[in-house]
Chain A
Amino acid sequence: MSESDPSGAPAADTAIAPAAGSTDAGEFAIRVRDLCNAFGTHVVHENLDLDVRRGEILGVVGGSGTGKSVLMRAIIGLQIPESGSIEVLGQSITEARVDADISIRSRWGVLFQGGALFSTLSVGENVEVPLREFYPDIGDDLLSEIARYKVLLTGLSDEAGAKFPSELSGGMRKRAGLARALALDPELLFLDEPTAGLDPIGAAAFDQLILGLQHTLGLTVFLITHDLDTLHEICDRVAVIADKRVIAVGTIPELLALDHPWIQEYFSGPRGRAAMAAHVADHGMADTAVSAERA
């Protein structure tokens, strides 16, 4: 364990009162500087900067093919960038030469778009995999208990825990993937389109689940989504990727105040207006104003 490893409790506290005034490096869970990503001659990112504060839910939006997933893959060390630096929880990802250098892996959890569950293992066993890998001294009893409560926490039933991924629906697979991502009690959670392909009720429940987990566990969440309801409902801030970089980060009201055509179209298009109206109807204008103030 690195010395900068904080215990769970302080991290949980930051979740309750995010965005306090301090600006020291410890405030940020992820710092990306001058990131350039390219596939051959196709440049995806150019001088991209992004900061994710500890304890916040950051939504990442952008048109299809703007490199949202590539950014996530770069941050978690799956995509080697052309240049630039990435720091996660105080550890440099870009300077790590071999996979083993990234000891930080036990402190983050990743939910891939399709769930990416190991297809030959049951859901429960999928959750046990990271636990076995990092903490071999955990006994079998405790291991299966942990797997079970993680599965139940994500809203799956006991029966689902014994099933194989091929026997699950798309939504259940996402929940199972989330259970595996949460297996190690990570401080940082990466979610790639968690609500895509879910029915509206399921998607809303998933939003609440993430919000609830974030409050209880004090997570920092890096959330790629196209779901406007999710953005309004649970994101503290939203980062917009366009023109190969992050063009703006802020609360939705702040983003709307910017006069960028893509942002305007994204949030003020028919779907954006509907999501906004629903959010205002649910929480009243006050809440929107508060979230603007908080940032």
Chain B
Amino acid sequence: MTQVPDFTLIPGETGDTLVFTGAMLVSTLGPLDRRLRTITTPIAHIDLAGITGIDTVGAWICCRISQETGATIVHADDAATRLIEALRQVDADSPMQAPSRLPVWLRVPDKVGEAVIGMAFGSVAVLSFVGQMILAAGGLLLHPARFRYRALVHQMELVGVNSLAIIGLMSFLVGIVIAQQGAEQLRQFGAEIYTVNLVGRISMRELGILMTAIMVAGRSGSAFAAEIGTMKLTEEVDAMRTIGVAPMEVLVLPRVMATVLMMPLLGVYAAVVAIIGGAFLSQFALGIPFFSFLLRIREVVPIHDVWVAVVKGPVFGLIVALAGCYQGMQVRDNSEEVGKRTTAAVVLAIFTVIVLDAFFAVFFTEINWG
């Protein structure tokens, strides 16, 4: 076992002598250093004759006391002398600058200001990002040979095909919940049959596409931000630029196009599965036969409800993919940033989708697609 280091102060004529004993190692010096800092009497000598071992931390403490009090170090063996000499070049007076972190009371206004400025510049940056993307898309129209079909198909698989199972399951359950809860309320005035209208219209117009957008934002939008963000950190994006490959063309456009194309398909799919879920529940809980339910859907759900879903889909897809790619491209400096930007991408996408959905609801009612 290593010996616990200790010290004693022996008073002398010109000042005290600080006598160390035991092993002066990083593993043992923590408590000792606290006590050493309480010494106020002048120290003339530091005696190291009694120590059983020393490392740079021990040497540093001797060195610091010697620099602060002008004490001379005596009876140091070869190893100790060598260590202390190596550390003499380090000046004890100036403490290391901590990275500038504000005190708490300033941090709040600082964060608020940062957020406001960030929002202002952020909207400009988003616009410029969209502009760059449109330019890149225009460039591809002029040179269609440069278009990355492979990347597009790959992203369509990731965004669309691979999410069929989870979106299907989610929608099926949502359909069941709507039918069950709706029937519960409608039963009170004997209008259980209107469960069909409720499930059909709300799934097709609102919930199918909205839930899909939220799921895709969580699944793919976050993945876009994290993928592109990590590529930014490892300088892959810079490498692409220097090779003459535009990141917009290779990274952003395929992802955006894939999401724009897949979102309406997924939305309608989700609506259909939700209706099937509702029909499934009606069969068992309400006594409405499964196929009667589906036939009734054709009568109560107007075709423009499908158009509503198909119009909203690409818009929501664009927002989700843009948010993901934009936030990913903003990553710099460190890994924490990837996490922050990924969160921002999902939050921004879902929030914008819901706000837009409210506008769409009013708009479609105004044009008599109610």
Q: Which residues of chain A have a CB within 8 Å of any CB of chain B?
A: 1, 3, 5, 7-9, 12-13, 106, 119-120, 122, 124-125, 131, 134-139, 141-142, 144-153, 158-159, 161-166, 184-185, 212, 215-218
Contacts and interface: CB of A to CB of B under 8 A. Distances in A.
A38 to B, nearest CB: 27
B79 A9 contact: yes
Most buried by B among A1, A159, A165: A1
Interface in B87-110: 87, 89-90, 92, 94-100
Contact of A161 (B23, B56, B96, B334): B96
A148 B96 contact: yes
Given A148-B95, A158-B94, A164-B99, A185 B57 contact: yes
Given A139-B33, A139-B34, A149 B335 contact: no
Contacts of A158: 94, 96-97
Given A3-B1, A119-B334, A135-B30, 8 more contacts: A9-B52, A119-B335, A122-B99, A136-B30, A138-B30, A145-B92, A149-B60, A158-B94
Contacts of B100: 162
A138 B25 CA distance: 11
SS class, residues of chain A in contact with chain B:
helix
B37 interface: yes
Interface of B: 1-2, 23, 25-27, 29-31, 33-34, 37, 52-58, 60-61, 64, 77-80, 82-83, 86-87, 89-90, 92, 94-100, 332-336
A166 B335 CA distance: 10
15 contacts: A8-B79, A9-B77, A13-B79, A135-B26, A136-B30, A138-B29, A139-B34, A141-B37, A142-B30, A152-B90, A153-B86, A159-B97, A185-B25, A215-B82, A217-B56
Nearest to A147: B96
Given A9-B53, A217-B83, A218-B79, A120 B336 contact: yes
Nearest to B27: A135
Nearest to B79: A12
Contacts of B26: 131, 135, 138, 146, 184-185
Nearest to A3: B1
Given A9-B79, A13-B79, A106 B27 contact: yes
Nearest to B85: A216
B40 to A, nearest CB: 16
Listed from nearest, the 5 A-B pairs whose CB atoms lie closest are A7-B53, A119-B334, A137-B30, A148-B96, A166-B333
Contacts of B54: 7-9
A152 B89 CA distance: 9
B98 A162 contact: yes
Contacts of B97: 158-159, 161-162
B59 to A, nearest CB: 9
Contacts of A166: 332-334
A1 B87 contact: no
Contacts of A124: 96, 98-99
Given A138-B33, A148-B90, A153-B90, A164 B334 contact: yes
Given A8-B25, A144-B96, A119 B90 contact: no
A136 B29 CA distance: 11
Contacts of B89: 152
Given A8-B79, A149-B87, A166-B332, A122 B98 contact: yes
Contact of B90 (A3, A8, A120, A149): A149
Contacts of B98: 122, 124, 144, 162
Contact of B25 (A7, A147, A165, A215): A7
Nearest to B82: A216
Given A158-B96, A218-B79, A142 B27 contact: no
A7 B2 contact: yes
A147 B56 CA distance: 11
Most buried by B among A12, A134, A184: A12
Contacts of B57: 142, 146, 185
Contacts of A9: 52-54, 77, 79-80
A162 B87 CA distance: 20
Most buried by A among B29, B55, B78: B55
Most buried by B among A146, A149, A165: A149
A119 B333 contact: yes
Contacts of A216: 82-83, 86
Contacts of A139: 30, 33-34, 37
